[in-house]
Amino acid sequence: MSEWDNKQIAAQGASVADDPASALTLEQAVAHITATDPRFAVTETDIRGQRYPVFANAPAHLREVLQSVESVYGERDVLIYRDERWDYPRLVDEVNRLAGALADLGVQPGERVALAMRNYPEFPLLLLAITAIGAVVVPMNAWWSGEELAFALEDCGARMVFADHDRYQRIEPFAQRLGLTLFAVRDVKGEHNYSDLLAGATRASWPTVPIATDDDFAVLYSSGSTGRPKGVVLTHRGLVSAVYSLIMLRLLPALMDPDAPASTRPPCSLVVTPLFHVTALNSNLIQGLAAGATLNLMYKWDPEEAIRVINAEQVTRFVGVPTQSAELMETARRLKQPLPSLEFIGGGGAKRPAAQVGRLADAFPAASIASGWGMTETNALGIIISGAPYVENPEAAGRLTPPLQEMRIVDEQDRPLPPGEVGELLVRSAANMRCYLNQPEATAAAMRDGWLYTGDMARANEDGLVYIVDRKKDIIIRGGENIACLEVEDALYQHPEVVEACAFSVPDERLGEIVGAMVVLKSGSGVGEAELKACVAEHLAHFKVPERFWWQDGPLARGATDKIDRRAIRAACLARLDPGKPDTGNVADTDKPDTNKNTAASAAQGN
């Protein structure tokens, strides 16, 4: 947004400020809030050689966010896990004791400390403690294999890791080789234990180590098209910019529809997606903390348990991948539980099927159904749509979240495209990542003149409504988990009988997408589906293992540059799933028999 646009919107907001009963446009509502609420006042500053709009009065870093909400919480709980509860004094006490203990162990500002665990309360407690002393938190994907964990730990340079039972077992075999101090968390005991660290910590005052707002906050790993996960380096300013933009977004509906019913319940969130992903970490956990919400953690998704927690704790906000909201809806219907406390049902991690939007709105009439587009690289900030506009436009991704972001849709020559035309989506804001860790070339390709090249293909209409239509990157999004096609192919090539392999997304009603693969084997090979799945599982997390296989005797299709033509191969394979479509590729006429099991039968049934 240009400086002129900001001035025009500010003038519009001032003209309606004296008549709060009037329904404002989005632009007027944004202008009114930024002009009248000091939390969201906007100024400009230089960040890494580029000038950006920023919040003038927001906390400088995550420690200040936690300090700023003491009076907001009062006697309410901050964190709940099963029958364990943390009110604000207990949470701050444990965070500060852990921070002191980490400092006593020699953890320095800027040093990276890794967390490898599921959604236990130790995760947010450690995250707040690590960042409170100026260190950098590195959440590890809990589904990763030992091989993937070793790569990320070596890549980020962390020397201290906190891990729960399963992750501890995977990391322990190489911990000494990488010089790791491995702390056991909750359901496992080791030489070093989280419980002992907390029990022996006595210092409970706020750390005083200085933290600059542009210091690093976290490194989150995101699968990219290069095959190996990329470490996305996020700063405190980026985090706060995203979180406060999302909090401001909550204030807009009341200004745009003064007749809308006001909430009568304290904010309360259910965190069901993994905290090692930016949706749960930033959009849910830290945004909830900054907004004074009670945060309920779920270790593992279970729709019946989610319903129990929602009713028992009067949860107002639910954010999950589309599969989870669909399962919540179906289970609520089966159990005859209307879940009246829910005011917001958001979707992230993957696009929600359009048909699901209206069904959710009918099932939960008191809740605003929402969906959003964001990236690890943007601190989860991006595009969002909710309520009636979403029901009316279920295919849309939404509108750009104000007030700090700018957006472009460009062609291959970086020329801005007019409304309706498809091009690459670019976003620019202080919330964007600092860089990809240890990957200057990838950083330079993705970040140019302050603009993040997202790799997503999009179009926008005259009203600014954005539709994500495709991805440049070869990424499969399975139930919110990003999977690089190249890393699946690399794992398939580990099998000595595989000559060529091509991985791609296969539509799936429940998960959105699953992993499919076309494989060429050595002549006369008896290798089948089960053996290849086992091979991939030795190197990658279970969700990256192909669930559908196609087989071919000759070379895979290639394009003009002699690269494997992934799109053509995918189209040909998917055509075989739909008998009404022509088979346009060079796919073998029959599925390859599996010497371990009848693969042709299981493949035909989608098993």
And the tokens for 385?
A: 């749509």
Residues 184-220: tens digit of each pLDDT: 999 999 999 999 999 999 877 999 999 999 999 999 9
And the tokens for 64?
A: 């200040």
Evaluate if residue 170 carries a pLDDT over 70. Answer: yes
Cβ atoms within 10 Å, residue 418: 10
State the maximum Cα–Cα separation within the chain, in Å, rounded to a whole number: 81
Residue 197 to residue 102: CA distance in whole angstroms? 9
Torsion-angle region of 264 (φ positive above 0: left; ψ -120 to 50: alpha; else: beta): alpha
Residue-wise DSSP of 268-290: EEEE-S-TTSHIIIIIIIIHHHH
Strands 317-320 vs 344-347: parallel, antiparallel or unpaired: parallel
Evaluate if residue 471 carries a pLDDT over 80. Answer: no
585 φ, ψ (degrees, to nearest 5): -120, 180
**Which residues does 66 contact at the CB level (< 8 Å), separation at least 6?**
92, 95, 128, 132, 289
Tokens 């959105």 belong to 512
Contact between 360 and 269 (Cβ < 8 Å): no
Mean pLDDT of 540-552: 95
Vertex 153 angle, CA 490 and 485, to 5°: 25
Cβ atoms within 10 Å, residue 132: 26
Write the CA distances from 535 to 546, 548, 553, integer angstroms.
Answer: 11, 15, 20
Packing angle of the helix pair 26-36, 3-16 (nearest 10 deg): 90
Task: Please enumerate, as own/partner, the contacts of 182-188 that have beta carbons within 8 Å and a separation of 24 or more.
Answer: 185/117, 185/120, 185/122, 186/117, 186/120, 186/122, 188/163, 188/164
The burial of 28, by beta-carbon neighbours within 10 Å (0-12 exposed, 13-18 middle, 19 or more buried), is given as: buried
Chain centre to alpha carbon of residue 414: 27
Question: Of the ranges 39-48, 259-268, 447-456, 589-598, which one carries the lowest mean pLDDT score?
Answer: 589-598
The pLDDT value recorded for residue 263 is 82
- Cα-based torsion angle of the residue sequence 71, 74, 79, 82 in order, rounded to the nearest 10 degrees: 180
Tell me if residue 548 falls in helix, strand or coil.
strand
And the tokens for 307?
A: 């319903």
Residues 499-524: tens digit of each pLDDT: 899 999 999 988 999 999 999 999 88
Strand runs labelled E in 140-253: 160-163, 181-184, 192-193, 216-222, 230-235
The pLDDT value recorded for residue 578 is 61
What domains does the chain contain, in order, with CATH numbers?
A: 92-211 (3.40.50.980), 236-471 (3.40.50.12780), 475-604 (3.30.300.30)
| Spatial strand order in the sheet of 216-222 | 192-193, 181-184, 160-163, 112-116, 136-139, 216-222, 230-235, 435-436
Task: Please give the model's pTM, rounded to 2 decimal places.
Answer: 0.85
Peptide bond into 403 cis (omega under 30): yes
Alpha helices of 456-596 — where are they, by DSSP H?
Answer: 485-492, 529-537, 566-575
* pLDDT, mean over the chain: 89
And the tokens for 566?
A: 């992934």
Local confidence band at 490 (pLDDT 50, 70, 90 cut-offs): confident
In one-letter notation, the amino acid at residue 606 is G
Question: Of the ranges 2-11, 351-360, 385-394, 571-580, which one carries the lowest mean pLDDT score?
Answer: 2-11
Segment (H or E) for 307 = helix 303-313
* Residues linked to residue 235 through DSSP beta bridges, in sequence order: 216
Question: Of the ranges 48-62, 116-130, 407-421, 578-592, which one carries the lowest mean pLDDT score?
Answer: 578-592
Mean pLDDT of 66-89: 96
Segment (H or E) for 521 = strand 512-521
Residues 289-346: tens digit of each pLDDT: 999 999 999 999 999 999 999 999 999 999 998 889 999 999 999 999 999 999 999 9
Local confidence band at 227 (pLDDT 50, 70, 90 cut-offs): low
- Cα-based torsion angle of the residue sequence 466, 472, 474, 479 in order, rounded to the nearest 10 degrees: 0
Residue 125 to residue 1: CA distance in whole angstroms? 37
Strand runs labelled E in 393-480: 399-400, 406-410, 423-428, 435-436, 447-448, 451-460, 466-471, 475-478
Pick from 494, 531, 533: which is nearest to 517 by CA? 533
**Which residues does 175 contact at the CB level (< 8 Å), separation at least 6?**
161, 182
Residue 284 to residue 316: CA distance in whole angstroms? 12
**Which residues does 18 contact at the CB level (< 8 Å), separation at least 6?**
none
Write the CA distances from 382 to 5, 173, 425, 477, integer angstroms.
Answer: 19, 40, 11, 18
Evaluate if residue 76 carries a pLDDT over 80. Answer: yes
Vertex 440 angle, CA 437 and 445, to 5°: 110
Q: Report the length, in residues, of the chain.
A: 607
Residue 43 to residue 40: CA distance in whole angstroms? 10
Tokens 């019946």 belong to 304
Residues 392-418: tens digit of each pLDDT: 999 999 999 999 999 999 999 999 999
Higher pLDDT, 12 or 19: 19
- What is the CB-side half-sphere exposure of residue 135 using CA atoms within 13 A? 29
Torsion-angle region of 573 (φ positive above 0: left; ψ -120 to 50: alpha; else: beta): alpha
Evaluate if residue 377 carries a pLDDT over 50. Answer: yes
Contact between 148 and 540 (Cβ < 8 Å): yes
Residue-wise DSSP of 1-64: --HHHHHHHHHHHHHHTT-TTSPPPHHHHHHHHHHH-GGG-EEEEEETTEEEEEESSS-SSHHH
And the tokens for 329?
A: 């809806």
**Which residues does 546 contact at the CB level (< 8 Å), separation at least 6?**
488, 492, 503, 515, 516, 517, 532, 533, 536
The pLDDT value recorded for residue 366 is 93
